[in-house]
């Protein structure tokens, strides 16, 4: 594009020479001048933040402002589209990648190309790229996948969560991305919900404590810094997003995107507390929930978004919708899009996740402003908040990927941290039958053989769960790089020890071979899932898990390792099994499970959720008047490391 207003050939040639010298590093970049001839104060990092915001905002047209409020899917985000519509943000949905198994360099190249489109606009406002990173940089091949939040809650270790946040930030930055849709700070009150594994706990205080992960993502606000204002420490940190505001973990029967029936006092005491801590920690953005509160869609709730979050809690970052969140205000979706846009924007949502219908959104919002339905003051509030985050995170000064960070993805230091998190998240629920010695820790050397059985023993995809490479996750070992639980067991035992793996041994196999096995490790659990596909009203262990437990544990001393996103019905099997371990969804570092099974480390995890006896008891949470769990909130047996 040419310089606005043109210029003489001499001026053009001089500018070209100056640009060439800058690229060669011969001269420092000079402050750019506005079309009117004065200095662009918004481009000067020495100016106060509000001065920069005010200067840029007053220059912007309505089209440029609405562009900033638009977040579109990567598939549509060519440099030309970003330039034409002044698009302010781009996202990758679950599984949306530049190419299968793309390395960090390919991601960074893609993001940089889009950024070039944004920077070539009249005002050169950089684009903000966002991606889900709810347990590591899950979309990206060979990224470190950490335990899902349900497991991290069992560690009761906010400092560990903070270190995980910092590691994830580096892996995300390795791909040129500066913004993550994490953490989920839902307080899951019913494990039938398909997103329960994204919740640290049923207890609001435990979720509050684990918001430390935000300081890991974004960096700690320095001493003397302003608490409650958006904060990102620099290019090794990312902007974070607390989600899903508010009450998403309290829906009736745990049905995803459903209605949370609660008094305002109950909402404040159970579901709101994590947001108090998130705002104090300087979280940059808050994502609105698909769910409703007492029948009112959260995406249209002016009281909770504008009056409470923005005014009462003094949140200064920007509020973002969920994927096609405005469409879902009406039933059926998108039935009256003008009304949906009106309700969502007036409720206080600042950036709209419109992966595909962005031109319709832009046209309709423009119309609603031009006819006076939505005041310009509401548009300015939205854009001011978006610009505040972009300035705060240094996006204007450093809009492009830092190629020196490419090696951060999946590096050993991060895998070691994930392995530590696995060890600390495991909860020992039973250890030995009455009158018997404890089974765990297991001996690393067997007189005979060790049987490893079950659908989840050698399945990296299942132990990672949803939001891994694809939205729903996948079973199998060709998904990404990592260590299965079986791999970990084989590495843990004394060399030469015979480990026999049978995924689904039948009764005949067990009867013929039971004398040769010292003990068995049975690893079963849930298949991968995400969101509504994980909603489950019976919560039984999926087949063939029950049959494997009965076949193996009926004849051989056994420890059952349960890989799941939530507690499942286990009471029918408790008499048959010798030991039971809740491993949750441990991620790529299955070695962490073996570390504790064989006593290199002791069991220390404590339940972040109540373990029910039957689904008829649900919802049942700690503190309820009628509380009769199989294992209560906070339960967890401990072992000491073995002295091998």
Q: Point out the residues that are catalytic.
A: 322, 531
The residue with tokens 């918004």 is 42
| CA–CA gap between residue 509 and residue 486 (Å, rounded) | 20
d(CA 309, CA 546): 46
Sheet of 259-260, strands arranged across: 259-260, 292-293, 296-297
3 state SS of 310? helix
Q: Are 242 and 283 a contacting pair, CB within 8 Å?
A: yes
> What is the distance, to the nearest Å, from the Cα of residue 377 to the centroid of all Cα atoms in its chain?
32
> 330, 454, 315: which is closest to 384 by C-alpha?
315
CA distance 68 to 160: 35
For 482, residues 6+ apart whose C-beta sits below 8 A from its C-beta are: 145, 460, 464, 587, 588, 589, 590
Among 542, 609, 629, 540, residue whose Cα is nearest residue 196: 609
Say which residues have a Cβ less than 8 Å from residue 106's Cβ, sequence separation at least 6: 98, 99
N residues, the chain: 644
Task: Indicate the pairing of strand 292-293 with strand 318-320.
Answer: unpaired
> Among all chains, which residue has been given the structure tokens 């009106």?
342
Determine the Cα angle at 116 with ends 406 and 140, to 5°. 35
Residue 247 CA to residue 260 CA, distance in Å, equals 6
CA distance 129 to 124: 15
The Cα 552–Cα 561 span in angstroms is 13
Q: What's the distance, CA 217 to chain centroid?
A: 11
Q: Write the secondary structure of 320-387 as one string of H (helix), E (strand) and C (coil).
A: ECCCCCCHHHCCCCCCCHHHHHHHHHHHCCCEEECCCCHHHHHHHHHHHHHCCCCCHHHHHHHHHHHH
């Amino acid at each position: 594009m040419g310089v606005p207003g043109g210029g003489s050939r001499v001026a053009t040639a001089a500018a070209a020479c100056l640009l060439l010298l800058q690229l060669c590093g011969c001269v420092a970049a000079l402050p750019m001048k506005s079309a009117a001839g004065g200095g662009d104060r918004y481009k000067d990092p020495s100016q106060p933040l509000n001065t920069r915001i005010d200067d840029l905002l007053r220059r912007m047209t309505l089209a440029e402002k609405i562009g900033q409020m638009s977040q579109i899917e990567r598939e549509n985000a060519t440099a030309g589209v970003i330039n034409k519509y002044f698009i302010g943000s781009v996202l990758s949905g679950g599984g949306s990648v530049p190419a299968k198994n793309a390395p960090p360099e390919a991601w960074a190249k893609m993001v940089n190309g889009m950024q070039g489109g944004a920077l070539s606009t009249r005002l050169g406002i950089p684009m903000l790229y966002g991606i889900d990173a709810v347990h590591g940089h899950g979309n990206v091949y060979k990224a470190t996948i950490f335990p899902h939040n349900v497991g991290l809650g069992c560690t009761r270790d906010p400092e560990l969560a903070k270190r995980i946040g910092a590691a994830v930030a580096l892996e995300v930055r390795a791909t040129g991305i500066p913004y993550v849709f994490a953490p989920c700070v839902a307080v899951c009150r019913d494990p039938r919900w398909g997103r329960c594994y994204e919740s640290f706990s049923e207890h609001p205080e435990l979720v509050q404590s684990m918001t430390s992960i935000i300081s890991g993502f974004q960096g700690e606000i320095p001493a003397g810094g302003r608490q409650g204002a958006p904060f990102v420490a620099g290019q090794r940190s990312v902007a974070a997003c607390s989600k899903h505001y508010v009450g998403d973990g309290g829906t009736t029967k745990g049905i995803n995107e459903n209605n949370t029936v609660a008094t305002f006092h109950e909402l404040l005491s159970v579901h709101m507390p994590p947001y108090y801590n998130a705002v104090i920690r300087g979280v940059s953005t808050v994502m609105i929930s698909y769910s409703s509160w007492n029948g009112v869609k959260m995406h249209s709730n002016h009281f909770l978004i504008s009056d409470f979050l923005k005014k009462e809690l003094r949140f200064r970052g920007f509020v973002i919708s969920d994927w096609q969140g405005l469409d879902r205000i009406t039933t059926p979706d998108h039935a009256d899009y003008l009304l949906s846009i009106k309700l969502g924007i007036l409720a206080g949502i600042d950036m709209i996740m419109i992966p595909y219908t962005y031109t319709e959104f832009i046209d309709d919002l423009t119309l609603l402003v031009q006819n006076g339905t939505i005041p310009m003051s509401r548009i300015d509030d939205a854009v001011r908040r978006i610009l505040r985050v972009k300035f705060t995170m240094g996006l204007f000064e450093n809009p492009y990927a830092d190629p020196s960070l490419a090696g951060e993805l999946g590096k050993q230091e991060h895998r070691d941290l994930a392995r530590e998190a696995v060890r600390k998240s495991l909860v020992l629920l039973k250890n030995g039958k009455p009158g018997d010695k404890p089974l765990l820790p297991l001996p690393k050397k067997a007189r005979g053989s060790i049987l490893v059985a079950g659908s989840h023993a050698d399945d990296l995809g299942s132990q990672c769960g949803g939001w891994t490479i694809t939205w729903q996750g996948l079973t199998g070992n060709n998904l990404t790089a990592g260590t299965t639980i079986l791999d970990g067991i084989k590495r843990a035992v004394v060399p030469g020890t015979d480990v026999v793996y049978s995924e689904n041994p039948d009764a005949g196999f067990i009867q013929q071979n039971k004398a040769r096995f010292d003990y068995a490790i049975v690893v079963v659990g849930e298949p991968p899932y995400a969101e509504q596909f994980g909603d489950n009203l019976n919560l039984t262990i999926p087949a063939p898990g029950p049959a494997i437990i009965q076949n193996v544990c009926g004849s051989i001393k056994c420890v059952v390792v349960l890989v799941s996103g939530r507690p499942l019905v286990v009471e029918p099997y408790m008499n048959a099994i010798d030991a039971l371990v809740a491993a949750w969804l441990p991620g790529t570092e299955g070695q962490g499970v073996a570390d504790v099974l064989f006593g290199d480390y002791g069991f220390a995890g404590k339940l972040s959720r109540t373990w029910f006896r039957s689904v008829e008891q649900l919802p049942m949470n700690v503190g309820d008047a009628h509380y009769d769990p199989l294992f209560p909130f906070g339960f967890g047996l401990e072992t000491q490391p073995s002295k091998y």
